[in-house]
Chains A and B, each alone.
Chain A
């Protein structure tokens, strides 16, 4: 189905014209990155013919023959609620970082539809392997957002039990988790859990990760094993400061062909399309039809993390063009224009999101630092003599201080 606004996206040649001055003070033109003879590179915009879309940026419902979607008003409203709440959590976390309460935060702004659409396509027994930006998926899996803040505050490295919500720990080294996901899927096969009542795995990663060896190895292993896995690539166009053309000369979803499984590109800002495409791929995996690569074509509206300054490497015009494709606004427009929601609904969702944000903020502020000696916990399943000795020595060292403010080695503050 055609993308109605495809023409709005900036084209490569329009992005960084070296001859043009920056549009305004404070907005820097990216330095010329590439030799002049380098051909124009992929797609700052998706080819409309290849992009699966069920809801246009204007909020118009469109059909795609491969992805029929029966969805009730209540279900769309539930998705809208998810989108608004995860954006609010993200907003709150950025503010907490700015106030010094978090060490860092990796914002999902702009990627809410990709995460909520795919996250809500999962069954309770499916397993998700996230990167460090999957706050929306975490929400859909039922993980308390406070757990995420623990990690970014520096209170834990994650610390949740992946089996509780079938949501694995955040993985920070780029692409490593795609192999874990593939191995887990091989375990599903060995458990005989493929078939009518099967289980499947979804592995999240970004456009930058597609350059990693581990991701390519995961594609190979999944393919030769016909493993029940969906590779969900959120192509947000930027790997910190490096644009997509530094990672690939071919559309990412087409890479699947070379590995021997199907690849599809979905409008990553369209929650309905992400839901439908992921559902279909997960069902195929559960039934034993093997892996699928989904490229969710989206945009990182914010910085890579709160330490990043995207004005150093990208033009605000690009950001402005993507604002017109906002993943939340189109759902709101759809609900309004089809009269599936009263204005009071939107107010209620806003109020609920604000309440979630307040709760998360309060929990963050109340989070105690871990006890100093807790760093010796859980290195191995049993405490070695060496660790016990180090722990005792460290505790004695702490206790040797005449404390004005007592340091309780075995307790958090």
Chain B
């Protein structure tokens, strides 16, 4: 066991991925000499060379489009999109090409490409640096969408994504990059939880709290706070947003009878809406209250001086828990 920050855990995971497969590549803006603006790829170009850790021109569509070409040639690119808000120049290549080429070719083509996206707010950034666009990709058939919430998952899930033969959108909680935790860097992937599986972080009996990415820590803290009020919350880190591990969700809600979904993304049309619909359909007779959502308001991301009001926090989550119990 080693104590690592989440960004360092990703770095170690990426190193393992490059060691595990000679066809694995890293590509993106500033990922080489600089080591990425968050230093997630720090030192990798020095150790693996410029042909495998590629500083690309400043063009996101180009990053994904050429990654597709490299994958067609047998390579396994791991792309970095520098910030969530910069993914949209690549949206067409991701949605129209990356997600659809396997289907178009009736299975003849595989595109083992990882698109790493630092996402979410809370770092006092300027516009386009704090967004949560994951639902747009979860809505797109042909992609896997996952998100890590802590350093241990960061380390294993980035390796699992790199070894997947499907395109994976990998959302990294940028405000948690500096969170530290124990990471088992000796253990292999064999015993790791599969990347498309949710994890029950804290067992509870009264309410199911669903979260992913940056909200995992916040929800864990909310469960502790709720316990002091005598409420037992079951916290589930979804980890995979597409496909959703609905069995784990349904089992928990059938047990607790209450469900709150938390994400930084805008609630309208977000993952919470999809989960609420599915839970209502499958767990209708177990529910004591409607499924509630805690997320951003249906506005563009506000200037950073307002983000503490915009983003879900401990109190907003506990408020939703209270509302659930009021039914």
Contact = CB atoms under 8 A, between A and B. Distances in A.
Interface in B73-121: 73-75, 89, 92-93, 96-97, 100-110
A346 to B, nearest CB: 39
Nearest to A151: B104
B69 A217 contact: no
Interface string B54-66: 0011010110111
A188 B110 CA distance: 18
Contacts of B141: 379
Contacts of A185: 69
B318 interface: no
A245 B88 CA distance: 29
A162 B109 contact: yes
Given A157-B104, A385-B247, A386-B243, A179 B57 contact: no
Contacts of B74: 187
B102 A161 contact: no
Contacts of B144: 380
Interface in A131-161: 156-161
A180 interface: yes
Contacts of B67: 183
B105 A160 contact: yes
A156 B96 CA distance: 16
A217 B106 contact: no
A213 interface: yes
Interface residues of B, number: 46
A171 B105 CA distance: 11
Contacts of B56: 221
A214 interface: yes
B28 to A, nearest CB: 13
A220 interface: yes
B96 A173 contact: yes
A182 interface: yes
Contacts of B75: 187, 190
Contacts of A385: 243, 246-247
A411 B57 CA distance: 48
Given A186-B66, A191-B73, A380-B144, A160 B108 contact: yes
A173 B97 contact: yes
Interface string A202-230: 00000000000110011011001000000
Range, interface on chain A: 35 or more
B93 A176 contact: yes
B70 interface: yes
A20 B247 CA distance: 72
B244 A217 contact: no
A381 B103 CA distance: 10
B106 A378 contact: yes
A378 B61 contact: no
B69 to A, nearest CB: 2
Contacts of A182: 65-66, 69
Contacts of B142: 379-380
A377 to B, nearest CB: 7
B162 interface: no
A156 B104 CA distance: 7
Interface in B226-251: 243-244, 246-247
A256 interface: no
Most buried by B among A380, A382, A385: A380
Contact of B165 (A180, A214, A377, A381): A381
Contact of B66 (A158, A169, A221, A380): A221
A188 B142 CA distance: 27
Given A180-B69, A183-B69, A169 B105 contact: yes
Contact of A381 (B62, B96, B166, B244): B166
Contact of B65 (A158, A183, A188, A191): A183
B104 A180 contact: no
A181 interface: yes
Interface in A341-397: 377-382, 384-387
Contacts of A163: 108
Contact of A217 (B61, B103, B104, B166): B61
A379 B143 CA distance: 8
Given A180-B97, A386-B244, A159 B106 contact: yes
B118 to A, nearest CB: 22
Contacts of B100: 157
A221 B107 contact: no
A184 B57 contact: no
A184 B166 contact: no
Contacts of A181: 69
A286 interface: no
A411 B89 CA distance: 40
B103 A378 contact: yes
A190 B73 CA distance: 10
B65 A184 contact: no
Given A184-B73, A187-B73, A385-B246, A217 B65 contact: yes
B68 interface: yes
B51 interface: yes
Given A173-B97, A385-B247, A217 B59 contact: yes
A330 interface: no
A188 B75 CA distance: 10
B72 interface: yes
Contact of B72 (A168, A382, A387): A168
A234 to B, nearest CB: 20
Contact of A183 (B68, B92, B109, B166): B68
Given A379-B141, A381-B165, A385-B243, A176 B102 contact: no
A16 to B, nearest CB: 34
B102 A378 contact: yes
Most buried by B among A162, A179, A379, A384: A179
A218 B71 CA distance: 16
A162 B51 CA distance: 25
A188 B73 contact: yes
B244 to A, nearest CB: 7
A221 B72 contact: no
Contact of B107 (A187, A190, A377): A377
14 contacts: A157-B103, A162-B72, A169-B109, A176-B65, A176-B93, A179-B68, A183-B66, A183-B69, A378-B102, A378-B103, A378-B105, A378-B106, A378-B107, A384-B196
Given A179-B93, A187-B74, 12 more contacts: A171-B97, A176-B96, A179-B66, A182-B69, A183-B72, A187-B73, A190-B70, A220-B57, A221-B57, A378-B102, A379-B142, A385-B246
5 residue pairs, one from A and one from B, having the closest CB atoms: A183-B69, A179-B65, A187-B73, A183-B66, A161-B108
